[in-house]
Amino acid sequence: MKLKGVAAMVMACAVIFFLVSFGEAAKYEFKLGHAVSEQHPYHMGAQKFKEIVEKETNGEVEIAIFPNNQLGTGERDLLEGLQLGTVDLYVGSTGPMGGFEKRFMMFDFPFLFKDKAQAYAVLDGKIGQYVMGLLDRIGITGLAWYENGFRHFTNSKRPVNSPEDVKGLKLRTMENKIHMALWRAMGADPTPMAWGEVFTALQQGTVDGQENPVPIIYVQKVYEVQKHLALTGHVFSPAMIAIAKVKFDALPEGHKEIIRKAAQESAVYQREQITKMESEQVAKLKELGMEVTTPDVTPFREATKAVYDEFKGELGDDAKLLDEILSGK
C-alpha cells in the first residue's frame, strides 16, 4: 500500500509540474516532428492540425512543427522520442512501428490492399482502430491515420518491368523486416537506412535504388540521383499522427477532444493533398527526365507470396485480421 501511495504521489507531482511549467496562462507547448520537407503532405497535414488546435483552444495549445528530421535522425528516432519525452507529436510512416508493436506489421505485407478505398476502409474501421489502440501500452497515443500512398521503386541502373529486373540491385529500405524480405524474395539486396542518409547514399552509389511513394520521390528530389521509376505499388504505406501518451493524458478533457477532432479533420485534408500530388507528379517526374514504367504487378505479387508464410505467424491470433483484409470483407 505504501508503494502504491508513493507512486500516486509521484504521478500527481509529475502532472502538476507539467502543467505549471507552461506558466500561469495554462498554455501547453508541443513539438511536432516529421522526417520530410515542408512541401510534403505530412507537413501540410501537420499545419492543418496545428491551425485547428490553436484556433479551437484559443491559443492555449501551441504547436511548433519541426520538419526534415530536426528532432531526430529518422522516423524510428522520432518514435523513440515520443517515448522519451523529447518529441511531443509525430507525423510519419508506420513502417518502423513493427519494431515497437508487432501487430503493425500487418499493414506492411506486399500487395495487401487493392486500392486506396479499401485501405481507408480498413484503417478507419475496426481493424485500424484496434491496431492504433495497441500503442497506448508503449507510451504512445495514436490520433488518426494519415497516408504516404502506395510505394514504388526507383533505381539508377535499368528500367524495371519484372521481378527479374530487380535482381542484384542494392536498395535502401526502411528498418522494416517485411519490406526487406519482399525485396530479398525478388533477388535484391535491401539495406535499411534512415531517410536523412538516403540522398547522399544514392548520389554516391552506395545503394542503387530506393522505394517510396511518388510525393516523396518528387519533393525530396530523388529524380536528381535516380533515372528509373517503376510504378509497382508493392506496399500501401499508412502513416499516422500520434502524441506522447504522458503529454496527452495530462491535458484537460476539453483539449483532448479538440486534439482528437483536429487529428481526424487534418487526416482527411492530408489524404486529399497526397492523392492530388500523386496524380500530378508522375507527369512532372517524366518532364524532369525520369523513365517511368508501369509493370504488370502479377509476377511481383507471385514472387513475394513467401513473405506471408514467413511472417504471418508473428501476428499470433491476429493473423486472422490479415486474412480478413485479404478477403476484402
Q: What is the 3-state secondary structure (H, E, C) of the chain?
A: CHHHHHHHHHHHHHHHHHHHCCCCCCCEEEEEECCCCCCCHHHHHHHHHHHHHHHHCCCCEEEEEECCCCCCCCHHHHHHHHHHCCCCEEEEECHHHHHCCHHHHHHHCCCCCCCHHHHHHHHHCHHHHHHHHHHHHHCEEEEEEEEEEECEEEECCCCCCCHHHHCCCEEEECCCHHHHHHHHCCCCEEEECCHHHHHHHHHHCCCCEEEECHHHHHHCCHHHCCCEEECCCCCEEEEEEEEEHHHHHCCCHHHHHHHHHHHHHHHHHHHHHHHHHHHHHHHHHHHCCCEEECCCCHHHHHHCCHHHHHHHHHHHHHHHHHHHHHHCC
Instruction: pLDDT band for 329, please (50, 70, 90 cuts).
Output: low
CATH fold group of domain 25-148+237-275 = D-Maltodextrin-Binding Protein; domain 2 (3.40.190)
Residue 7 has pLDDT above 50, yes or no: no
The predicted-structure confidence for 197-213, as pLDDT tens digits, reads as follows: 999 999 999 999 999 99
What pLDDT, on the 0 to 100 scale, is given for residue 21? 47
Judge whether residue 64 has pLDDT over 70: yes
pLDDT band at 144 (very low <50, low <70, confident <90, very high): very high
Confidence category of residue 24, pLDDT binned at 50, 70, 90: low
Asked whether this chain's domains 25-148+237-275 and 152-235+282-317 adopt the same fold, the reply is yes
Residue 15 confidence (pLDDT):
52
Domain positions in the chain are 25-148+237-275, 152-235+282-317
Q: What is the pLDDT of residue 223?
A: 97
The predicted pLDDT at position 99 comes to 87
pLDDT for the residue 25: 56
Q: Rounded mean pLDDT of the chain?
A: 92
pLDDT computed for residue 20 by the predictor: 45
With 50 as the cut, is the pLDDT of residue 3 above it? no
What does the pLDDT read at residue 174? 87
User: What is the pLDDT averaged over residues 39-58?
Assistant: 97
Fold that domain 152-235+282-317 belongs to in CATH:
D-Maltodextrin-Binding Protein; domain 2 (3.40.190)
Model pLDDT for residues 266-305, shown as the tens digit of each residue: 999 999 999 999 989 999 999 999 999 999 999 999 999 9
In one-letter notation, the amino acid at residue 192 is P
Per-residue pLDDT of 231-255, as tens digits, reads 999 999 999 999 999 999 999 999 9
